[in-house]
Amino acid sequence: MELNGAQILVKALEEQGVDTIFGYPGGAVLEIFDALRESSIRQILVRHEQGGAHAASGYARALGKVGVCVATSGPGATNLVTGIATAYMDSVPLVFITGQVAKAMVGTDAFQEVDITGITSPITKNNYLVQNVQDLPKIIAEAFYIAKSGRPGPVLIDIPRDVSMAKCQYNPYRNVDIRSYKPTLKGHPTMIKKAVKILGEASSPVICIGGGVINSGCSAEVQEVVELTGAKVVSTLMGLGAYPGNSQTFQGMLGTYGNKAANLAVQSCDCFLALGMRFDDRVVGNPEKFAPEAQIIHIDIDPAEIGKNIPVDVPIVGDLKNVLQDIIKLLKKDHKVRKTINFPNRNIQINEGLNAPWVLRNLQRVAPSNTIVTTDVGQHQMWTAQHYIFNQPRTFISSGGLGTMGYGIPAALGAQLAMPESTVVAITGDGSFQMGMPELGTIAELELPIKIVIFNNNTLGMVRQLQHYYCGQRYSFVDFKKTLDFMMLAKAYGAEGLRIEKEADVTDVFKETFANRKFTIVECPINSRDLVNPIVLAGNGLEEMV
């Protein structure tokens, strides 16, 4: 049967198991939206393409599937850029489809023309400008394969309008084989043996879990390695939830804003097993002072990450699940199972009162156990990472690498659509909230029971905190005058608005928040002088916390 390019695209998306797309229509994608209407794929009309990209990311991260977002040419495409870059830094499998002006007009600065493949080449795993309608099935199959295999990441397909309109026979394309792209899945046996030897002989090993553990789905294997080695576990921001946060062996997040116990464990360990992480500057502090006593084993599916920021003793390229299974086999064979070590309880002191850590504790107490938390970027993000306990993978969704304010609300939208039964809470600040605001309209329209918790200090708190430490407490251009009435805003969007006025309200407000399945905005005022503590200042080792 002859189909047009748009219909072929939709067929191919169905073939890939896509059930939901986020998008915003426009001139260059009219055919695509027209074809989508005939399909079973659910379409979510967002209010800004940036929100669409983030929502697709929230969807992908909550579900472990490829997220899809469609936008028109020109501003539609450029509006995606921040979302694409965010997904790229956090290795989220996404496929973006953008419309482009007709082929004959490409390069003429036509209406709503922009070189989106040129723009996005630094922030996508791969991108395509489709020249020929016959190529579409192959390109789409490749795009999905590239997005989700190896180290996942975003892929963009730019489709000129005449390609969407051109007709041809649809032949499904199933056997993807790209000669220039073959991810290594099995670890090298010699390296694995070396790793096992170090792990087996270490007296104070630390295992650090990164986002790769979630992408590879190997939480069970990690637990087994922990049991076999008696290691302490620390996590990067991206790894939170991949290992039960309520376990005795878990020491919390490491890094600049890490938990004290975690940072101390890293600095004193004799073996550091890094799983699917990339030794980001926010994770290691001063690279020269990082884990000075430790032999470092680094397992990652992306060979380019190994040795990029930190020299390692044992590099292993491969899929974590495979490699860990091999390690477990050898550990069991060659080494005695250790006694479980009882680590001292990592108790974090929190002062009672209207401060974010204490409010977050209370939020956690009241929130249902199936809660998925998304955050925005700033102080509230670090407080959440430090004090909210995540026990399941894919229950914490946050922009780590790019640190994109405005991520939390659209990501919550995507996560809620992915997991309709779950409770989704977006924890945000007043600055980030305003960047993600357009999607309030989408949440309201779809009547999603998302709970947004705003820590309002009327300032860009994290920047203010950096000015506190690095600029001799000179605060410049961070204060928002009180220009926004959040409760009235909630009304404008038909949401429940709840405000925490005093300490005693906290439990009741959160009980009310979770009592129903309504879209709710909770505002919690906090002091603008509150700081995220502890913090490792620039140039210091992780043990030098203030």
Residues 418-457 that bind other proteins (CB under 8 A): 431, 434-435, 437-438, 440-441, 444-445
Alpha-carbon distances, residue 28 vs 39, 75, 84, 159, 388 (angstroms): 19, 11, 20, 9, 44
Where does this chain touch other proteins (CB under 8 A) — which range of 70-78, 147-155, 319-327, 415-423?
Answer: 70-78
In whole angstroms, how close is the CB of 339 to other proteins at the nearest point? 39
Among 85, 218, 262, 382, which residue sits at the site for other proteins (rule: CB under 8 A)? 85
Where does this chain touch other proteins (CB under 8 A) — which range of 211-219, 352-360, 416-424, 484-492?
Answer: 484-492
Where does this chain touch other proteins (CB under 8 A) — which range of 71-79, 216-224, 343-351, 414-422?
Answer: 71-79
Residue 539 in the binding site for other proteins (CB under 8 A): no
- CB nearer to other proteins: give 43 or 248: 43
Three-class HEC string of 207-242: EEECHHHHHHCCHHHHHHHHHHHCCEEEECHHHCCC
Work out whether strand 126-129 and strand 67-71 pair parallel, antiparallel, or are unpaired: unpaired
Among 168, 328, 350, 484, which residue sits at the site for other proteins (rule: CB under 8 A)? 484
- CB nearer to other proteins: give 121 or 171: 121
- CB nearer to other proteins: give 113 or 221: 113
Residue 10 in the binding site for other proteins (CB under 8 A): no
Maximum Cα–Cα distance across the chain: 70
Asked whether the beta carbons of 428 and 419 are under 8 A apart, the reply is no
- CB nearer to other proteins: give 90 or 221: 90
Residue 174 in the binding site for other proteins (CB under 8 A): no
User: In a 3-state reduction of DSSP, which class is residue 327?
Assistant: helix
Check residue 299 and report its DSSP letter.
E
In whole angstroms, how close is the CB of 340 to other proteins at the nearest point? 36
> What is the tally of helices (H) and strands (E) in the chain?
21, 20
Residue 391 in the binding site for other proteins (CB under 8 A): no
Residue 175 in the binding site for other proteins (CB under 8 A): no
The dihedrals phi and psi of 43, each to the nearest 5 degrees, come to -110, 130
Joined tokens for residue 44: 């979510």
Where does this chain touch other proteins (CB under 8 A) — which range of 133-141, 181-189, 471-479, 522-530?
Answer: 471-479
In whole angstroms, how close is the CB of 460 to other proteins at the nearest point? 7
Q: What is the footprint of other proteins within residues 302-361 (CB under 8 A)?
A: 308-309
Residue 227: is it exposed, middle or buried by C-beta count within 10 angstroms (0-12/13-18/19+)? Answer: middle
Q: What is the footprint of other proteins within residues 86-145 (CB under 8 A)?
A: 86, 89, 101, 105-112, 114-115, 117-123
Residue 485 in the binding site for other proteins (CB under 8 A): yes
Among 174, 333, 336, 481, which residue sits at the site for other proteins (rule: CB under 8 A)? 481
Helix ranges restricted to H, 99-255: 116-120, 136-148, 161-165, 189-201, 211-216, 219-229
Joined tokens for residue 99: 């419309």
Residues in contact with other proteins, shown as a per-residue x/- string from 370 to 389 under the rule CB under 8 A: -------x------------
Tell me the number of residues near other proteins by CB under 8 A. 88
Alpha-carbon distances, residue 514 vs 346, 373, 375, 424, 489 (angstroms): 29, 14, 18, 10, 20
How many CB atoms within 10 Å of residue 232?
25
Residue 478 in the binding site for other proteins (CB under 8 A): yes
In whole angstroms, how close is the CB of 539 to other proteins at the nearest point? 11
The answer to whether the Cα torsion of 408, 411, 417, 418 is positive or negative is negative
Q: What is the footprint of other proteins within residues 14-53 (CB under 8 A)?
A: 23-27, 30, 33-34, 36-37, 43, 45, 47-48, 50
Query: How far is C-alpha 404 from the chain's CA centre?
Result: 10
Q: What is the footprint of other proteins within residues 398-417 (CB under 8 A)?
A: 399, 401-406
Asked whether the beta carbons of 535 and 546 are under 8 A apart, the reply is yes
Residue 196 in the binding site for other proteins (CB under 8 A): no
In whole angstroms, how close is the CB of 270 to other proteins at the nearest point? 27
Joined tokens for residue 410: 């659209």
Q: What is the footprint of other proteins within residues 231-290 (CB under 8 A)?
A: 278, 280-282
